[in-house]
Structure 1
Amino acid sequence: MTHIIIPSTYLKTTSQLIFLAGPTRGAPPWQAEAIEFLASYEHDMDLTIASPERSIPLHMTRLVIEGDQNYFHRRRAWERYYLDVASKIGAILFWLPGEQQHNCDKVYGATTRLELGQWMVNYRHDNSVRFCIGIDHRFPDVDAIIYDLSVDAPDKPVFETLEETCIEALRIVGAGP
C-alpha cells in the first residue's frame, strides 16, 4: 500500500519512505507525476511518499495520511525531518526539472541546490546515505552539478527522466527491479 505525507503532517513511519526533493516554485507539477508513477508501480511493500507539494492529484487524496499537524514549527523543519528519515530508511529522490514559470524575485531551485549539495557531502563521508538524482537537461548549471556529483558521489548515476529516477528510488528501497 502506498501512502502520502504532506506538510506539515508528522507521523512516525516504519515503512519505506521516498522524499520528493526538487524545485516547487516555478517548476512543472513533477511531484504529482512522481506520485502517480510510484503509487502505480507494482510492489509488495508499504511505501510512504513525502511530498513538499501539498497539491495532490484529486484521485490520490485518499492516500494522504492524517497525523499531528502541530509537531513542526515550520515547513522547513518538516522537510529536514523527512529528508533525514528517507536518507536512512528509504530514499531521497532528487528531480531537477527545467523552470516552467520564471520569477525574478527568487532564484529557481535555490533550496534544492543547497539540499543536493548537503546530501552529496553527506554521501561523500558516509556512502550509506540513500539518494538518487535525475536532471532535466533544461535545469540551469547542469554541467556543474554533474561534475560535483562525479567528485562527491561518483557511483551515483544521473538519470535523464523522472520515470528512470522513480525506478531508481524504488530500487533503493527494495521495491523496484
Structure 2
Amino acid sequence: MTRKILLPPNYDTLEGPLVFLAGPIQGAYNWQNDAIKTIQDLAPELNIASPRKNIIKKGKFTQEMYNEQVDWETYHLKKAGEDGVILFWLAKESEHISRRAYAQTSRAELFEWKVKHERDGTNLVVGIEDGFSGAKYIQRRFPQDCPEIPICSTLEDTCLKAVNYLL
C-alpha cells in the first residue's frame, strides 16, 4: 500500500488507517513536519493528515477559508477516529498572537475526542511539550477518566505510541 500525506484543502481516497495530527498551529512551531517525518520513518505505509498547510496565504483569512479548513479537519478527524488514530501534540507556544487564546481549538478538540474515546473507543494518543500552558489539568484528568490513553512528553514517543496502535 502506498501512503498518502493529506494537507488542506485536498481530499483523497484512502486505503488503510489514517493518523491525524491534532494540536496547535497558530502560535506553534511547525511540529507537524517533524511528526510526519517520524511517522514515515517508523511506518511508511501509514496515511497521515496534517491540518497545517504548506503555503501560508497572505491577506485576510475569510469566512470561506475558515469553513474550508474546519470542514477538512472535521472530515479527516472522523476518518482517523473510525480507522486510525488521532495524535494530539500540545506544543508550547512559540509566538504569542494577542487576538486569540493559544491552542483554543486544540483544547476543545482534545476533550471532544476524549469523550468519543470513552464512548466509542477511538484510538487517541496525547503528547504534551514541557511548557504547554494547562498541561497539569490534562495530565491529572486523562489518567482519571481514560488511563489507557498514553500521555507522552516527547513528540517522538507520541508518534511511536500512535504507530503502535495501528501495527
Query: Contact 2:150–2:161 (CA<8 Å) still a contact in 1?
Result: no
* Superposition map of 1:88-103 within 5 A: 88-103=82-97
Residue 140 (structure 1) aligns with: 133
CA drift at 1:14: 2.1
Mean alpha-carbon deviation: is it higher for 45-54 or for 156-165?
45-54
Tell whether 2:119 aligns with 1:125: yes
Match of 1:74, SS state, is helix
Query: Contact 2:93–2:132 (CA<8 Å) still a contact in 1?
Result: yes
Residue 22 (structure 2) aligns with: 21
CA drift at 1:125: 1.9
Q: Distance in 1 between matches of 2:11 and 2:33?
A: 21
Match of 2:4, SS state, is strand
Match of 2:140, SS state, is helix
Q: Which runs of 5+ in 2 are unaligned?
A: 56-66
Amino acid at match of 1:97: A
CA drift at 1:121: 1.1
Query: Contact 2:128–2:135 (CA<8 Å) still a contact in 1?
Result: yes
Q: Distance in 2 between matches of 1:24 and 1:118?
A: 18
Q: Distance in 2 between matches of 1:107 and 1:5?
A: 27
* Superposition map of 1:20-59 within 5 A: 20-41=21-42, 43=43, 46-55=45-54
Amino acid at match of 1:81: Y
Q: Distance in 2 between matches of 1:82 and 1:152?
A: 25
CA RMSD in angstroms comes to 1.5
Query: Contact 2:93–2:102 (CA<8 Å) still a contact in 1?
Result: yes
Query: Contact 2:27–2:102 (CA<8 Å) still a contact in 1?
Result: yes
- Consecutive aligned runs of 4 or more in structure 1 exceeding 2 Å deviation: none
Q: Distance in 2 between matches of 1:2 and 1:33?
A: 17
Aligned residue pairs, count: 155
TM-score normalized with structure 2 length: 0.87
